[in-house]
A and B are shown apart, each in its own frame.
Chain A
Amino acid sequence: MYADKWLAMGLLATLLSGCALAPEPVEEGHVVSTDWLAQSPDCCQGLADLPPTAMQLETRQVLVFDADTPVHAFASGKSPFHALDLPTDVGPVQVEVTSEVMRDRRGSLEVIAPTLLLLDREGRVQRRLDWQAFDYRPSRGLAPDRLTASLGINPSVEAARLVVLTTSEALAATTEVLHPSRARAQARHLADPALTNPRARHVARGEVVLRVSVLGEQGRWSKTRPAGASLPPAVTEGSALDGLAIRRLIRAALKADDIDLAMALAERAEGAGETGTRAWLAEQLRVR
């Protein structure tokens, strides 16, 4: 009898407290303090002066954003950055950029929302991939919540360096993260829980992971090549192009779903005298 009463009282107390407690909500758009960023010295006069780092191929390259990372006042705001020289002797590459959602010491969610700049040899911006173009991928197994983007690049005079940074606009924003209970509900066909997805603050410190693979006929990953096999020639300004080789590269780009790269390769091939490459690409796209 007493157990009944204690259990009923405990249940009633919990029921009432569940409704009464109003924990402090996380403010949307909460801006993380960037005083340290404003006080950091600008490393460089301009984009052409950004100190370069070697880009590693076929491996996981971690770009650390911390107190030792150089800072530059970009047009989009002051930001720590990594400027990576693109390899010039391997042909087109596929670059996957991943920024994982982390927890700070208080358990709050935070993530770097990267922006990518593709610079030519003179340091001029040729291509830009803003943080809004990154896809959010929910946590799955050991892979945490993350922002990810993939782009194909044909290293050349006009595509010489990749800069990874963040922007003032990104730092003022947040990313909605799938609540773990919602992920379970989707997997188990349960009612969608009446829970607000948490938001990860955008910060300028953390880690961004790069995976760069050489595009080849076999697909996105060219981790193994037969000994002695020659690599596809780099498509550079004025270089002699082999029509068969360029079409191999275009097929590899299409297989990686990088239509932009395929179009760029076709345009360059046409400009180098390989007439009909555009029409051939159009036919490849039509039958996809």
Chain B
Amino acid sequence: MKIQHRYTFPLVTLTAAIVTAASGNVQAADVDFHGYARSGIGTTSGGGDQACFQAAGASAKYRLGNECETYAELGLGSTLFEEEGKSFYFDSLVAYVNEQANDFESLDGDTSDGNTIALRQVNVQATGLVDAAPEATIWAGKRFYQRHDIHMNDFYYWDLSGPGGGIENIDLGIGKLSLAWLRNTSQDNEFPDSQQNLANNTFDVRLAGLSTNPDGQLELGYDYGSATLTKAQDNAGVDPQSGHMLTLEHTQGNWLGGFNKAVVQVANDGMIGSTGKSNTSSTGPQGEMLRLIDHGLVNLSPDIDMLYALIYEDRDLDTGDGQTWMSAGIRPTYYWSETQSTALELGYDRVKPQGSGKDTANLAKLTIAQQWSAGRSAFARPVLRAFATYAHWNGNGYNAASESIEDGESNGVTLGLQAEAWW
């Protein structure tokens, strides 16, 4: 709203200059700097670097006081053009990983030493270009695409990120429709040339924003994974496994001061996987998967909130190599002030192989962390933490520790300091 002003300016030149300055024609405006980072230091009781604990076969681990690497995502984006309701936004992001073992850790692309760099986003998103759906965004490039995750254990249960393109958020009135084509490439031992890539495609259709009840919305998604072969690959007799995945996610807002998400996913063959990216190679899974998830955040009192997660995933493979993964975790946090809190995280994972004669892996982890954060919230960042973690597992079956703890041991304690930020 314009400020009402008494003064008048009869000069046409001055008025024209004001109009030009106030127009919406913006080119090459401000740059957005966004990202994520975590880093720290730790040790294991008994000696050695900090160990991290994860149940064998589990797709994730409860992360508080249980992250052993430095990981950062640094991104730059900018609205390159904007005029009359049409805009073009460029986004980019590079990810960095290292073992946080030394000062100078070269990111030379050798992933075997845990130090690497990866280009994860380079894309353009344009809005307002489709006359029939001016609210929709068309895009192409490498992109984090509509990811769904559980923060507590860093589990991305619906994530098809990668190179692709599509159109998203077409307003149908009852909800928003998005269509996308994404790619993830793999190898296949049956290829005559081991350097050949298998071009796995995923075609994603999702309808979001379906109102179901007060403060509740439903999102439906269908993913079809398949691969297109070259003539040489076809002649080699490669038979890529296509697959399908259905996702239903209900989000309940105004849920005890927070939110709850209930998810049902069913998939088969090449779409069985942690994120929904297809794997059509000859070594890919064949069978069926059912995954049930419930996770969210609640405010137990003005000074206590709690993250929680429940996961049940059953991979029933034709080869008998499937498994059932069950996971439960809570992270209550007490806020002493706007900047200080104490968090407790209790997590339990159990992975039971499909076949008989194989050991079930279980793991319980308990972490207490004193935190200093910019704000009072489960999602307030940056945050600095001092933590202590205790983990227990069936050591006669496997070793849940990443390092510093011998095979056959069944428990471990770690201590450390960590910083985490996103912006």
Q: Do A and B assemble together?
A: yes
- Interface residue? B212 (CB, 8 A): yes
Complex A-B, nearest 3 residue pairs according to Cβ-Cβ distance, in ascending order: A141-B374, A189-B144, A194-B217
Counting chain B CB atoms within 10 Å of each CB, the highest count among A14, A18, A193, A198 belongs to: A18
Q: Contact: A285 with B251, CB < 8 Å?
A: no
Q: With A7-B328, A260-B3 given, name 8 new contacts (CB 8 A).
A: A4-B352, A8-B312, A11-B311, A103-B302, A141-B380, A187-B35, A188-B147, A267-B9
Quick one: CB contact mask for B300-314 with A, threshold 8 Å, 1 for yes?
A: 001000000011100
A107 B149 Cβ-Cβ under 8 A:
no
Interface flags for B132-149 (1: CB within 8 Å of A; 0: not) read 000000000000101111
Query: How many chain-B residues does the 8 Å CB contact rule pick out?
Result: 78
- Contact pick for A196, options B121, B151, B215, B377, CB 8 Å: B215
Task: Give Cα distance in the complex from A25 to B420, angstroms.
Answer: 33
Q: Within the complex, which residue of B148, B252, B297 is in contact with A19, where a contact is CB–CB below 8 Å?
A: B252
Contact A285 B93 (CB under 8 A): no
Q: Which chain B residues lie closer than 8 Å to A198 at the CB level? A: 254
How many contacts A-B (CB < 8 Å)? 178
Given contacts A4-B326, A18-B252, contact A180 B216 (CB under 8 A): no
From B121, B212, B292, B375, give the contact of A189 (CB < 8 A): B121
**Contact partners of A187 in chain B: CB under 8 A:** 34-36, 381, 422-423
Q: Is the CB of B252 within 8 A of A11?
A: no
- Give the contacts of B335-391 with A (CB-CB under 8 A): 338-339, 350, 352, 374-375, 377-382
Q: B9 touching A23 by the CB < 8 A rule? A: no
Residues of B within 8 Å of A107, CB to CB, are 257, 299, 302
**A259 CB-CB contact with B under 8 Å:** yes
- Given A187-B423, A189-B144, are A195 and B253 neighbors across the interface (CB < 8 Å)? yes
The answer to whether B5 touches A127 (Cβ under 8 A) is: yes
Residue B398 lies at the interface, judged by CB distance under 8 Å to chain A: no
Chain A 141-172 interface mask (CB, 8 Å, partner B; 1/0) = 11010000001000000100000000000000
Q: Is the CB of A19 within 8 A of B216?
A: yes
Report the Cα distance A24→B17, complex, angstroms. 52
Residues in B274-333 with C-beta less than 8 Å from chain A: 292, 294, 296-297, 299, 302, 310-312, 324, 326, 328
Name the distance in Å between B253's Cβ and chain A's nearest Cβ. Answer: 4
**Contacting pair B262 A180 (CB below 8 A):** no
A236 to chain B, nearest CB (A): 16
Query: In the docked arrangement, what's the CA distance between A23 and B256, Å?
Result: 8
Asked if B375 contacts A282 (CB within 8 A), the reply is: no
**Interface hits, B3-30 → A, CB 8 Å:** 3-7, 9, 11, 13-14, 16-18, 20-22
Q: Are A11 and B338 in contact (CB under 8 A)?
A: no
Q: Select one of B16, B212, B253, B374 contacting A142, CB under 8 A.
A: B374
Flag if A194 contacts B208 (CB, 8 Å).
Answer: yes
* B89 interface hit (Cβ, 8 Å): no
Q: Mark B83-110, 1 if CB is under 8 A from A, else 0.
A: 0000000000100000000000000000
The smallest beta-carbon distance between B158 and chain A, in angstroms, is 8
A 197-233 to B, binary, CB cutoff 8 A, 1 in contact else 0: 0100000000000000000000000000000000000
Q: Please name 13 pairs of A and B residues whose Cβ atoms are closer than 8 Å in the assembled complex, sorted by A.
A: A10-B310, A14-B262, A14-B294, A18-B262, A19-B213, A21-B252, A25-B214, A184-B151, A189-B144, A190-B149, A194-B251, A196-B215, A286-B20
Q: Does A15 contact B (CB under 8 A)?
A: yes
CB-nearest residue of chain B to A125: B4
In the complex, the chain A residue whose C-beta lies closest to that of B219 is A194
Chain B residues near A128 (CB, 8 Å)? 3-4
Interface size on A, residues (CB 8 A): 61
- Which residues of chain B come closer than 8 Å to A37, judged between CB atoms? none
B14, A142: Cβ atoms under 8 Å?
no
Least distance between A275 CB and chain B CB atoms (Å): 12
By a beta-carbon cutoff of 8 Å, the part of chain A in contact with chain B is 3-4, 7-8, 10-12, 14-15, 18-19, 21-26, 103, 107, 126-130, 132-133, 139, 141-142, 144, 151, 158, 179-181, 183-184, 187-191, 193-196, 198, 259-260, 263-264, 266-267, 278-279, 281-283, 285-286, 288
Q: Are B294 and A132 in contact (CB under 8 A)?
A: no
B132 to chain A, nearest CB (A): 22
A187-B36, A190-B148 known; A19 and B338 CB under 8 Å?
no
Report if A286-B375 is in contact (Cβ < 8 Å); known contacts: A7-B326, A126-B6.
no
Residues of B within 8 A of A4 (CB): 324, 326, 350, 352
B213 touches A22 (CB 8 A): yes
> In the bound complex, do residue B144 and residue A130 qualify as a contact, i.e. CB atoms below 8 Å apart?
no
- Option from A11, A15, A127, A288 in Cβ contact (under 8 Å) with B3: A127
Least distance between B346 CB and chain A CB atoms (Å): 14
- Give the distance in Å from the alpha carbon of A103 to the alpha carbon of B216 in the complex: 24
> Which residue on B lies nearest to A118, using beta carbons?
B3
Find out whether the CB atom of B379 lies under 8 angstroms from the CB atom of A183: yes
